[in-house]
Chains A and B, each alone.
Chain A
Amino acid sequence: MIGQTNINKKNIAVIFGGQSAEHDVSIITAHIPIIQSLLAVRQFDVWPIYIAKDGSWYCDKAMNELAYFKQNNFETLLAQQKKIRILFDNGLKIIWPGIISKTVQIDVAFPAMHGTFGEDGSLMGLLRMANIPFVGCDLFASAVAMDKVLTKQVVLAEGIPVVPYVWFTKNDWQKNKDIYLKKIDELKWPLFVKPVHLGSSIAISKVKQKTELENAIEVAFHYDDKILVEESVENLIEVTLPIIGNDELQLAAIERPLNKTDFFDFSDKYLSSGGKKNSGANSHYSEIPANIDKELAKKVEEFGKKTYYTLGCSGIARIDFLINAVDKKVYVNEINTLPGSLYHHNWRKVGVSGVELVTKLVALAEDNFIQRKNINYAFNSDILKKTGGQKNQN
């Protein structure tokens, strides 16, 4: 059962799973709200493209149900599925090979992958080459946002404040440990040690004493070869701001996650949903809108928009901020180009339903695609003719 094709509807492929630490989170985001909302629109033929942990691609409409991935015999079921092939032929086609093969031409892609290979720009690169509209940020914004150091460097260059930090690679650390330890020592403690490329707060540690530092760095290097050590903000208020749009931006409510632990880690973000069902990858333990000064809120919105423009985000993104409640300083912490579950719980509170959100994102993707088409990437030249060739023997 691959699924029926409906010629009157736009074929939309939701791509999720992937070889990333956030594989499971991606499955949730893809279903709640993306697939469920796209189905509720009733104008799309939704093709769920699932990339397994081994990198194989599958597509079966049965995968439009989140329950498919929760079955005990999921691995067995997956093994019985045909792997799909993709073809770049005047757009993107997915093919189920076999004696009676089936081909579906995808009109719009909706990436729903977190972390490596998905949110880092790899998938966007693929979709750019396939030359089809796709939802969300393009390759450049995704790639920069995936690297916490690169993000800081880019936004800082535009005058947006970030928390002081030190960065190094595994190689740097092994060769010049003392230099970096000294640099780190100059920062104001306590510190955060973070792998640069990972999302969902995986392998992040808060270091209060020097004895803990090296261990924290080792842990982080286990997940990444580039590390960031940064100051922690005193009197901290963490807030986040989801934004959608290409040129005209629409802001959701400033949201304050109400942490249980010292900082917002993976289990806080995704696992401690208080048993609430169907709320997606983020749930209701946040304050929406955040109860902060108007002045602070204004700064957050201003920096949020500026960061979105600076990175060249499109479609959707979420900017995280750190605020010192006493000295009222606001820092941009990181950018998430595919917010977990699109932060639909927040959008719903500001009057944007799941259906309106996905419809808008698809429209933004199509606008972006038209703009991209108008840029001329080809250039006719006679350089080939003039270059090399067989030398005249005469």
Chain B
Amino acid sequence: MIKNLLSRYNFHYPKILVYMLQASEYNIRDYFIWHWRVKNFKRVEQRKHFVKTAKSLLLLAAAWLIIISIIGFAVYFLWLGALNKILFFLIIFIVPYILAYIIIIPLLIIKLIQWPIEYVIIYKARQRLKNHKAVKIAIAGSFGKTTMREILKTILSEGRKTAAPSLNYNTPIGISRFIKTLADDEEVLIFELGEYYPGDIKKLCNLVQPDMGIITGINEAHLQKFKKIERTIKTIYELADFLGDKPLYVNGENELAKNNAQSKHIIYSREGVGKLKIINQKTDLSGTSFVITNGNIEVELKTNLLGLHQIGPIAAAIDIALKIGLSFEQIKNGVSKIKSFNHRLELKTDSAGIITLDDTYNGNPDGVNAVIEFLAGLKNCRRFYVTPGLVEMGIKTEEVHKQIGKKLAEANIEKIILIKNSVTSYIEQGLRENNYKGEIVRFDDALSAFAALPHLTVKGDIVLLQNDWPDQYQ
């Protein structure tokens, strides 16, 4: 209690506030929701730290200016005799509480200055894209966008000059900055559209002007922000509204995406897409293979990506590649070159012979189901499933996590390692209700779990790291 109180009177407190703003991407609402939940401010910076940028340093300077001004005025009025001592100490006492709110004023001023600058950058980017001859493909969805982007980029690059923002540049300003770097001779441009609030996708479509689109799926990711799943659906389907009769691919393996698709939309899944049919799907630790048929043509394809759930997006990419004019030979090459992406079911084998599947960037229910399905198919090895659970599931939190417990129990995963927090008890409940027979090990934080893992595992074990909680959800 006292520790919590004192954490506000720490020298680093102003920096922690700015860090919280920065980690919330300067979204004031997200910042306040986080701030109201924090009890001990010394424990905020756990996984990431304050990053020095012009904006963050300016805010930090403003924060100190605010503190010094308040204290300075208080001392001045005390000296004048206009303030009694009790009131003086009261003012000093509430400084950190006021600061958390007043810090928003300089932020708003910065935003006010930034807004016209950003508007010009975005406007210029939009004009440039309008005149750009490339085929523009937009990807929207609650999950799987980055994977889809990478698959498309790798395959299409076999026959066309293809470009896509390399990082998670999925906001108007991020995309505009990427557009500035274009050489203008690109033949295909791929964009991820990030959705945080209703209207986001529409805004991005206006900027990108896509010629075709892909909806990778809709689920409870970001439900905390959208409140209702219907709003998520509506927001993501803003892409369909914009495209009209232009081609839109929809993931048929995701119920919400599929159920909201119209007949003109193209459904893709591990079974095929349009006229393309897929057979002989196989997956193990060495990769995934399948045969794609188009009338009389049969092509066997192999990728390093793990899991049958990867086949659907690859099929969609193949269909787009054929539309753009790539040959099956080029496609086959492209598929074989797809690499696993950082922290997305990425396989690493260490010197002790332990296989780690790093899936720490996967924090959505569909992705989790796909991974558990993959683990269930692995034979003759001991499987460890390490997770802190998923974030931003809103009212679905309990249901989603119980479901994860159920799936893990059904897959007979030998060891479940839980990094304890508000949701892990639901996973345990799900495990218990489905007669889980393996072992559950609980850790208080991710670092102690990661430190213990080398001592829990032996050669041949498979360790799956599922999702990683950023600081705002601890």
Contacts and interface: CB of A to CB of B under 8 A. Distances in A.
Contacts of B353: 348-349
Contact of A40 (B352, B354, B452, B459): B452
A353 interface: yes
B452 A36 contact: yes
A354 B454 contact: yes
B452 A353 contact: no
B224 interface: no
B454 A278 contact: yes
Interface string A72-108: 0000000000000000000000000000000000000
Interface in B435-474: 441-443, 448, 451-452, 454-460
A345 B352 contact: yes
B351 interface: yes
A354 B352 CA distance: 12
Contacts of A344: 455
B400 to A, nearest CB: 27
A36 B455 contact: yes
A349 B459 contact: yes
A59 B153 CA distance: 57
B355 to A, nearest CB: 13
A42 interface: yes
A68 to B, nearest CB: 14
B454 A276 contact: no
Given A348-B457, A353-B457, A39 B452 contact: yes
A345 B457 CA distance: 11
A351 B455 contact: no
Nearest to A35: B455
Most A Cβ at <10 Å: residue of B452, B455, B458, B460: B455
A254 to B, nearest CB: 15
Contact of A349 (B352, B442, B454, B455): B352
A40 B456 contact: yes
Nearest to A42: B441
Contacts of A284: 351-352
Interface residues of B, number: 17
B456 A354 contact: yes
A113 interface: no
Interface in A259-286: 276, 278-279, 284
Nearest to A279: B351
A352 B455 contact: no
Given A42-B441, A353-B457, A348 B452 contact: no
Q: Interface on chain A toward B: helix, strand, loop, or mixed SS?
A: helix
A348 B351 contact: no
Most chain B Cβ neighbours within 10 Å, of A33, A37, A344, A355: A355
A6 to B, nearest CB: 13
B455 A354 contact: yes
Interface in A307-331: none
A279 B459 CA distance: 14
Contacts of B460: 351
B351 A33 contact: no
Given A284-B351, A349-B353, A40 B455 contact: yes
B456 A353 contact: yes
A189 B452 CA distance: 49
B456 A36 contact: no
A347 B353 CA distance: 12
Contacts of B452: 36, 39-40, 355
Contacts of B458: 347-353, 356
A36 B451 contact: yes
A276 B455 contact: no
Contact of A355 (B351, B354, B451, B456): B456
Nearest to A274: B351
Interface in A162-196: none
A287 to B, nearest CB: 13
Interface in A37-60: 37, 39-40, 42
A278 to B, nearest CB: 7
A192 B287 CA distance: 53
Interface string B114-148: 00000000000000000000000000000000000
Contacts of B443: 42
A5 B352 CA distance: 34
A33 B454 CA distance: 9
B460 to A, nearest CB: 8
A330 to B, nearest CB: 26
Nearest to A37: B455
Contacts of B442: 42
A42 B441 CA distance: 9
Interface in A325-349: 344-345, 347-349
A345 B458 CA distance: 9
A339 B108 CA distance: 63
B454 A351 contact: no
A355 B459 contact: no
Interface in B36-76: none
A33 B441 contact: no
19 contacts: A39-B448, A39-B452, A40-B451, A42-B441, A42-B443, A278-B454, A279-B351, A345-B352, A348-B459, A349-B353, A349-B459, A350-B458, A351-B459, A351-B460, A352-B458, A354-B454, A354-B455, A355-B455, A356-B458
Interface of A: 33, 36-37, 39-40, 42, 276, 278-279, 284, 344-345, 347-356
Given A33-B455, A39-B448, A353-B457, 6 more contacts: A36-B452, A36-B455, A40-B451, A40-B452, A42-B441, A352-B458
Interface of B: 351-354, 441-443, 448, 451-452, 454-460
- The 5 closest A-B CB pairs, nearest first, are A354-B455, A40-B452, A37-B455, A40-B455, A349-B459
